[in-house]
Amino acid sequence: MSDGIQQSTILVVDDSESNIEMVLAILDNYDVIPATSGKDALELVESEHIDLILLDILMPEMNGFEVCKKLKETENTKDIPVIFLTAQKDEDSIEAAYLTGGVDYVTKPFKPVELLARVKVHLELQHLIHKLEYLATRDSLTGIYNRRKFFELAEKMFSTYDENLYAIMLDIDFFKRVNDEHGHDAGDTVLRKTTEIISNLLPSTSVFGRLGGEEFAVILTASADEKVIHLLDKIVSTYANTKIAISPKQEIQCTLSCGMSPRYRYTDSIDELLKEADAALYEAKQTGRNRRVIRAERR
């Protein structure tokens, strides 16, 4: 069993404390959080990172099927695998366990080897799914969102926020010169360092992606234009003053050009918002680079 799987957090939901104690003893190599009601379980998943849920079916007030249904209806919890714990072995109960979103079921009384095996299999499957999802949505060089995932998340933000939404386009100045003079390995190092610098300065709720080559984009929310302008000034100055080690004995410094556009009342789509930011970026390039330009509202 890998360390990553052992460190997984499992939520055990059962109104019987003796059953919970038994599960805790069997899963002593895992981080296990107990809950004695469906209501407590739903509150816990909102505040804790849960990798797997063991869920009793027969509980007062809210049974396991109802809890699972609520979990699957909620965006943040719909992908958490649920293994039902049940003393019932009839076909209707087993069918209901799968129809409500369960991935498996374990009958009581527990067989320690069986419970451990099922938990391990589903944690490893979940770990594999997360790994594949990461690979499918991330830029392989920098680790930030790739173009497809960036646009997917940016579209969601655009549909959520009618105002206080901003698009930023960023481009490394004279990046071709880095590749030509120092080689593509140096270029890759610069791209990774660029990503690191920008990521460290962005709010955690930002969507940050590499659109291709040396071009990056950000979608974020802010309470005022001034806050985003201050952020851009910080990014431009921090980047320009950072020495990037491209070899054990050589460092170089690069600069960034940035364009920003707020979402105006006439902005009809995420593509249009990014096009406005791109026009501001083009202006920054044309007026000297190593600067930011804010797209003014059209009159």
Look over the chain and give the mean of its residue pLDDT values, rounded to a whole number.
94
Plot region of 94 (φ>0 → left; ψ -120 to 50 → alpha; else → beta):
alpha
The pLDDT value recorded for residue 143 is 96
pLDDT of 2 strictly over 70:
no
Find the mean pLDDT for residues 44-53: 95
- Is residue 214 annotated as a catalytic residue, yes or no? yes
**pTM for the model:** 0.80
The pLDDT value recorded for residue 299 is 63
The pLDDT value recorded for residue 132 is 94
Residue 83: pLDDT band with limits 50, 70, 90: very high
pLDDT of 189 strictly over 70:
yes
The pLDDT value recorded for residue 1 is 45
Residue 298: pLDDT band with limits 50, 70, 90: confident
Are the C-beta atoms of 42 and 70 separated by less than 8 Å?
A: yes
Residue 5: pLDDT band with limits 50, 70, 90: low
Question: Which one of the listed residues 124, 214, 226, 276 is annotated catalytic?
Answer: 214
All domains in the chain, ordered by first residue: 3-136 (3.40.50.2300), 147-294 (3.30.70.270)
The pLDDT value recorded for residue 3 is 56
pLDDT tens per residue, range 112-121: 999 999 999 9
Find the mean pLDDT for residues 187-206: 97
pLDDT of 297 strictly over 90:
no
Find the mean pLDDT for residues 93-102: 91
Residue 91: pLDDT band with limits 50, 70, 90: confident
